[in-house]
C-alpha cells in the first residue's frame, strides 16, 4: 500500500516524462525520496520548481480518492510533526 503523498510524487515523475517503469520502481522502493527547498521540490533526484508543480496540479494530478478522510490527514500530521 502506498501513501497518498507517494502517489502524488510518482504522478509528478510520470508527468515529467519519467518512464512508468522507473516511477513504479521509485514508488516500490519503500517510498519516493523527496526534499523541499526554498523554491523547488526535488523528487527522486529531479528538481521541480513552483511553476512546474502548479502545472502538474492544473493539467495532470487534480485529486486522489481515499476510503478514509482521517487517514491522509493523520499521515500529513505525522510527517509535519517536529
Query: Bridge-partner residues for 48, per DSSP?
Result: 41
User: Does residue 69 or residue 41 have the better pLDDT?
Assistant: 41
Map residue 73 onto helix, strand or coil: helix
Q: What is the mean pLDDT of the chain?
A: 83
State the SS3 of 22-48. Answer: HHHHHHHCCCCCEEECCCEEEECCEEE
CA distance 82 to 78: 9
What is the model's pTM?
A: 0.67
Q: How far apart are the first and last CA of the chain?
A: 25
Amino acid at each position: 500500500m502506498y501513501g497518498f503523498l507517494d502517489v502524488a510524487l510518482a504522478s509528478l515523475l510520470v508527468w515529467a516524462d519519467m518512464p512508468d517503469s522507473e516511477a513504479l520502481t521509485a514508488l516500490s522502493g519503500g517510498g519516493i525520496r523527496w526534499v523541499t527547498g526554498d523554491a523547488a521540490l526535488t523528487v527522486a533526484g529531479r528538481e521541480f520548481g513552483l511553476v512546474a508543480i502548479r502545472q502538474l496540479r492544473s493539467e495532470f494530478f487534480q485529486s486522489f480518492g481515499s476510503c478514509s478522510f482521517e487517514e491522509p490527514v493523520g499521515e500529513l500530521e505525522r510527517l509535519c510533526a517536529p
